[in-house]
Amino acid sequence: MGGGLSRRRFLAASALAPAGAAVAQDMPSAGRLKQSVCRWTLRGELPDVCSRVKALGFQGIDLLYPDEWDAAHAAGLTCSMGYASRRKNFIPDGFNDPSLHPVLIEELNSAIPKAAQAGVPNLIAMFGNRKGRSDAEGIANCVAGLSKVAPVAERHGVTVCVELLNSKVDHKDYQGDHTAFGAEVMRGVNSPRVKLLYDIYHMQIMEGDVIRTVRDHQQWIGHFHTGGVPGRHEIDATQELNYPAIAHAIADLGFPGFVAHEFMARGEPYAALDAARRTCLV
């Protein structure tokens, strides 16, 4: 991710320092959007993180592994986006590579029933690095692979969300780096249980025009991530995106999924999350 710290590098860190807590002073209505927090952005033991996130008024926590789902449930949170496994090279090794389809399909098809049983509504997947493939080839490969996951996802009511990432700053060579690419894959799969994870931070870097793009492609979007541009920090007035307007636009579409905050706070992280929650409380 931006700002010199990535999801992968953070998860690989051997020591986790406890983060300071900030407790919300009130617990207002959740508003029209279900808000969540990405776990990798918060240091500390998972039960403590979940407790603090719940105290702030969030409804979910994103990006937990299967052996962590129970911790979210115990804290009264939904694991709003889960991993199917702890497989290495998760981001570059995606569905655009047909040689990986046996592993990726088995991984998701095995995890989907477990996610349904655990109350996890979404599982994350990746398009993968380009490695010389044309867009047409990458799209065809992704459609072929994801189409073999869709029936299981539909049967169990779990949505597989394939993430759009920027290839300009954080994920060099990633092929799913524009909404048009992802939407073409979604059209090919044509399943209510295979959607895009639209990361606002990443797509602002690659193409901008966020609100119009979201409106035009709303049928293909199952989940959102936030983050300030540049640097993937707080979604406040120090960065270029107008998050209150974006939140209103998403809510006005009647979006039923989660908006998950995925930024590295420069200040106290729980205070920054509380401010982000309020920003998106529409």
Q: Are 185 and 137 in contact (CB under 8 A)?
A: no
Polymer length in residues for the chain: 282
**pLDDT at residue 180, rounded to an integer:** 98
Q: Where are the domains of the chain?
A: 32-267
pLDDT in tens, the chain (282 residues): 344 445 554 444 433 333 333 333 455 457 999 999 999 999 999 999 999 999 999 999 999 999 999 999 999 999 999 999 999 999 999 999 999 999 999 999 999 999 999 999 999 999 999 999 999 999 999 999 999 999 999 999 999 999 999 999 999 999 999 999 999 999 999 999 999 999 999 999 999 999 999 999 999 999 999 999 999 999 999 999 999 999 999 999 999 999 999 999 999 999 999 999 999 999
**Which one, of 57, 11, 13, lies nearest residue 37 by Cα?**
57
Q: At what angle do helices 101-118 and 135-146 cross, to 10 degrees?
A: 50
Assigned CATH class of 32-267: alpha beta
Amino acid at 229: V
**pLDDT at residue 281, rounded to an integer:** 97
Structure pTM? 0.90
**pLDDT at residue 88, rounded to an integer:** 93
